[in-house]
Chain A
């Protein structure tokens, strides 16, 4: 079984400041890791994912996350945030299952509030 802990329920930050959203997971098997973003009144959108290979993964809008197996973490970072980054961010994990599908296990979410 897998579980995900997002250590901060809310993160307030000023525009153009750096931000880190923390995510830790537990699993007895190899996992795939995801960050999803949910903008107000919109559905979940995949931000980035780690499947294998390089432990540093990047999104098209400047976010990056690093898979750290020894610390079982997958923290999300952005060096300079914009007002438009205000949203709820969910970390998720899935383990390889028979049949090949990935049931996602989500954390409780972190609300990022960017202030001018």
Chain B
């Protein structure tokens, strides 16, 4: 399978713990996006990487959230001191990055986080 993969698929944690999610984009895709989807809502943009550079962060991304994309390949999203409000599906998407704004984003299956 050559699609976007995310691990783990499910994560249950206790409030106050740190969690880290991983996203492996489609090979050779330069652009990588993180979104968050809560129950009954559409995905909301969190952050964007062009290769290894993080070029935009949403105001939704508080200082407890950090994302990295070392070497411009896989990406990690870490949440420190989790809160119950962080419970959501975290989606990763990648696109080829053809130099225009029209390239298609391909989404992974998501990581469902439950904070108890």
A residues with CB within 8 A of B: 4, 6, 9, 32, 36, 42-46, 49, 51, 90, 92, 94, 96-97, 99-109
Complex-state Cα separation, A43 to B37, whole angstroms? 12
One of A4, A36, A101 near B101 (C-beta < 8 A): A101
Contact A108 B40 (CB under 8 A): yes
Residue pair A90, B104 in contact (C-beta under 8 Å): no
Interface stretch (choices B62-70, B71-79, B80-88, B105-113): B105-113
Task: For B45, list chain A residues within 8 Å (CB).
Answer: 103-105
Question: Which residue of chain A has its CB nearest to the CB of B46?
Answer: A103
The total of interchain contacts (Cβ-Cβ below 8 angstroms) comes to 69
Is B2 in the interface zone, CB < 8 Å from A?
no
What is the interface size of chain B, counting residues whose CB is below 8 A from a CB of the partner?
31
How far, in whole Å, are A17 and B104 apart by their CA atoms in the complex?
A: 30
CA distance A43 to B3 in the complex (A): 10
Q: Does B48 contact A (CB under 8 A)?
A: yes
Specify which of B44, B95, B102 lies most central, judged by the most chain A CB atoms within 10 Å of its CB.
B102
CA distance A51 to B104 in the complex (A): 11
Residues of B within 8 Å of A44, CB to CB, are: 43, 91, 93, 107
B42 touches A101 (CB 8 A): no
Q: Please, how many angstroms separate the alpha-carbon atoms of A45 and B110 in the complex? A: 12
